[in-house]
Amino acid sequence: MATPTNLDIDNDDLEFASSYAESTGVSLDVAISELIRRAAQTLAPQMSSSPNLKRDAQGFLVVKDGGHRITEESVKNDSEDDPA
């Protein structure tokens, strides 16, 4: 539901929102709402049920860095150490 509102917006922010509206083909009010929602999602704590996952800049879940990385070389070394 939309509520009519008057806002004082810095000129550079208004220019950005107007450019966003034009490039996405939406009205200025829709553009400002979308930009606020996107900012809120970015700033909100990104919770995951797994401590090994985090959200990247686009909001996708990715594996956190850390632990032992498996490389081609480590697989080769490990397989040479393990008699078949």
Encode pLDDT of 54-77 as tens digits.
777 877 777 777 667 778 888 888
Mean pLDDT of the chain: 82
pTM of the predicted model, to two decimals?
0.50
Q: CA-to-CA distance for 63 and 75, rounded, in angstroms?
A: 20
